[in-house]
Amino acid sequence: MIILGYNGFSQVADLFARLYGHAPDGVDRHNLIGHDAAAALIIDGELVAAVEEERLNRNKKTSAFPRNAIRWCLEQAGLDYDDVDHFAFGWNHDNAYADTTVTAVAQAPLTAEEKLTVLTTFGELYLGALGRTALIEDFTRHTGYALPDHKLVTVPHHRAHLACGRTFAGLTDAAFLINDGQAERDSAIMGEIRNGKVEVFDRFTIDFGNSLAQLFGEITRYLGFVPNNDEYKVMGLAGFGTPPAPEDNPLLGNVVTLEDDGRYALALAHDRRGPRAYAELLDKLFDGHDGNRETFEFRVRLATAAQQLVEVVTAHQLRALAAATDLRDLIFEGGLALNCVNNTKLLEDLPFERIEVSFGASDPGVSIGAAAHVAQSHAAPLAHTSPYLGPEYDTEQIRTALTAHASAVTWEELPLDQIVERTAELLSGKTVIGWFQGRTEYGPRALGNRSILANPSYPDMKDIINHRVKHREPFRPFAPLVLEEDAPTVFDLGKKHRSPYMTFVFPVRPAYREQIAAATHVDATSRVQTLTDESNPLLARLLRAFTARTGVRCLINTSFNVAGEPIVCAPDDAVECFLGTDIDHLVIGTFLVTKR
């Protein structure tokens, strides 16, 4: 069976701009349904290809219909549209959803005029993008393929997240928590998978009006960042502060109230102003005003409180789940699962013995998950653990890209062994390397095939990369890449044995804090990526060669891009990013590239 999963609506950006004021170049540009558009292909239970549309159209977090991603997946497998048995879409705005929404508006305490205004707006969005007819028209308009109605399977958003997590967790029976900004009606669900059957524990479900992730997004906006994009900056800022006692946190009680059975409620749930309603309340609780909101101290104080809020509320949820199931393995997916500081604390402080968070935990994962959900309904797909699912480029394609930039770069082609040794030699010094190899990784983290690498033993390397290369805030930390066999020596992994996707944070052992100073955050932790010879053979060889030369067991690994741009995908992207930054050398395939 051939299943193609996808996510993305061509009309959503325009509709949200017109109906809700989310300008494509404004602070709300990523607050759209269908962001992180992508496509994924499963053939006979095996995930063979997946790529995010942003890597191909070069529009970060795009919500556009993923025409390029779909075409690439099919070409990669030598297929045409007619060969596909099911096209699985990672949202399910069905008739029941529309009926429920209309009924809710009709029964709301609003004037008739207000109800009609809301319904008119909803009608435009539903008929223009969300409804089944709109989906089929969108598909046909962008692909030229008249999608038969019976081939389209709309998968509930949270079920798509869950199916993605199941695919990569390597677990059969497990509890689960899915928590993100908003699915069709809800923001969080919990339950268990037992003997292949999924059961959602309805009493734990949180509706979208009480979305913890949307609240965190509003705090992100309030701090001057872009919501649904920069939440990790808030998490990073929190490391500079000391959390208060929970009872002294202004957000706990005043903004979020914990309820029985793992539930919680937001103070301004379903306020017609949406998440922006919290700005005035945040001003009041934190004495925010024009004179202090921009200061580092104010930002840290609020970020610390917000991070603690996420930790307390999520732990509250999972304590209730742990009491409701005897399963001690947990799958955690959804945008909130990218809060890797929280993930580690949940594992260490709760009864669960294992927590798995995939590299597609946020919305890129719903394209994989939609296809996996359909596959699982027929026969469970094979467990797949590699994130390297996207395009790969051969020597001639790389040479063509270099030749096109010959006036700006010079290069030498070397055997692979020499490429590894020369790169390790360069990394021994205070050198920044653009590393481009193999298939493009999937998800928001660069996992070693489209990465910027550097030596973490130089304390100022963090500032060099933030300022000269990434063009981003100086407080932003970097992740260390470490061999799985060396990870327990350098880091206190607690219950974890591996962290291949940068979804957990661990304390750096005191003996190594100076050695990897540039990859150690201010709170003496690191967001770790563990590596094996099987998971990425070439990168493992490079790390071993670097360690043999320097005695340093880690490399800095950050995404090969600059702030605001998607991670590079094609050779042209890599060369242009290399030339637009102070990266010292580009290692692309078997070519070592230097600027003229």
What 3-state DSSP class applies to 32? coil
Signed CA dihedral, 371, 372, 373, 377: sign only: positive
Catalytic, 35? Answer yes
Instruction: Transcribe 2-26 into DSSP letters.
Output: EEEEEE--TTHHHHHHHHH---TTS
Question: In the chain, what is the straight-line distance between the N-terminal and C-terminal CA atoms, in Å?
Answer: 51
CA distances for 519 relative to 100, 393, 488, 584, angstroms: 49, 30, 16, 19
Q: Which of 35, 158, 521, 585 is catalytic?
A: 35
Amino acid at residue number 44:
D
Structure tokens belonging to residue 428: 């021994």
Strand pairing partners for 249?
none
Signed CA dihedral, 350, 383, 181, 227: sign only: positive
Query: Measured between alpha carbons, how far is 266 from 439 in angstroms, rounded to an integer?
Result: 43
- CB distance 302 to 219 below 8 Å: yes
Strands 329-333 and 354-356: what pairing?
Answer: parallel
Phi, psi of 549 (to 5 degrees): -80, -35
Structure tokens belonging to residue 84: 């596909």
Q: Helices in 380-431 by DSSP H: which ranges? A: 395-404, 416-427
Query: Measured between alpha carbons, how far is 159 from 178 in angstroms, rounded to an integer?
Result: 9
Closest CA to 306 of 371, 403, 223: 223
Query: Measured between alpha carbons, how far is 47 from 562 in angstroms, rounded to an integer?
Result: 30
Radius of gyration in angstroms for the set of CA atoms belonging to the chain, rounded to a whole number: 24
- CB distance 266 to 255 below 8 Å: yes
- CB distance 577 to 560 below 8 Å: yes
Phi, psi of 454 (to 5 degrees): -160, 165
CA distances for 430 relative to 410, 453, 465, angstroms: 21, 11, 11
Show which residues are catalytic: 35
